[in-house]
Amino acid sequence: MAATRMGEVVAEVSRRLPTAEDTVAFGRELGRLLRAEDLVLLAGPLGAGKTTMTRGIAEGLGVSGRVSSPTFVLARVHPAGPTTAERPDPVPLVHVDAYRLGGDLAQLDDLDLDADLDRSAVVVEWGEGIAERLSADHLVVRLDRLPDDVRVVDLEPSGCWTDRLPATRLAG
C-alpha cells in the first residue's frame, strides 16, 4: 500500500529510466498488466516522458495505431489489437491529454470517459487532480526528468492497485 508521510503520498515503486527506450520498456510492462476499467494518470512536467510512456503502454496492450500526444484532439481511441496467447481478451486504449482542460471538470465530463472506462484502459496525461474522480481504482505514474535526461518514475497506487501493484513485475 502506498504510504503517506505528513499528508504526502509516497511512491510504492520508484525506478530510474536512463533512456527513452527504458521509458517505453517500462510502459510496455505496465501495458501488459492493464485490463478494461483500468485508469492510469500520468503526471509530470513538460518533457518528462508522458507520451513516451504511453507509447510503451500501447505496445504492452497490443493496440492498433500510432500513439502521439492528443493535446489538440484531447482524446484518441486506439482499437484493441488481435487476440493472442498473451492477451486472449484484447483491450482498447483511450489516451487523453487533459492539459488544455485546465481543471475544467465539465469538459472532462464531456469526453464521456466513464463509458470508455467500462471497456477500455484509460491513460490520462495531466489528469492528476481532476481525473481521479473517474475511479477510486487508479494508478498515478509520476515522471520526472533529471538534468542528465534520466527519467525517474514513481508509481502511486489507489484502490485495487494497492493490492495489484505489489504482485507485479513492476514492483520487483
Which residue did the predictor score with more confidence, 58 or 170? 58
Q: Say if CB 150 and CB 16 are below 8 A apart.
A: yes
Give how far Cα 144 sits from Cα of 72, 118, 121, 164, Å.
23, 30, 23, 24
pLDDT tens, residue by residue, 135-170: 899 999 999 999 999 999 999 999 999 999 988 888
Which residues are CB-contacts of 152 (< 8 A; sequence separation ≥ 6)? 14, 15, 16, 17, 143, 144, 146
**Which of 18-32, 37-51, 65-79 is least confident?**
65-79
Looking at residue 160, its pLDDT comes to 92
Q: How far is CA 77 from the centre of its chain?
A: 14
Half-sphere exposure of 58 (CA within 13 A, CB side): 22
Is the pLDDT reported for residue 64 higher than 90? no
Is the pLDDT reported for residue 56 higher than 60? yes
Residue 134 burial (C-beta neighbours within 10 Å; 0-12, 13-18, 19+): buried
Average pLDDT of the residues of the chain: 83
pLDDT tens, residue by residue, 86-127: 888 899 999 988 876 665 545 555 555 555 667 889 999 988
Is the pLDDT reported for residue 34 higher than 80? yes
Looking at residue 71, its pLDDT comes to 58
Domain ranges of the chain: 19-171
Is the pLDDT reported for residue 9 higher than 80? no
Which set of grid coordinates corresponds to residue 64?
492498433
Confidence band, pLDDT 50/70/90 cuts, at residue 2: very low
Confidence band, pLDDT 50/70/90 cuts, at residue 73: low
Which set of grid coordinates corresponds to residue 148?
542528465
Global pTM reads 0.85
Looking at residue 131, its pLDDT comes to 76
Fold category of 19-171 in CATH: Rossmann fold (3.40.50)
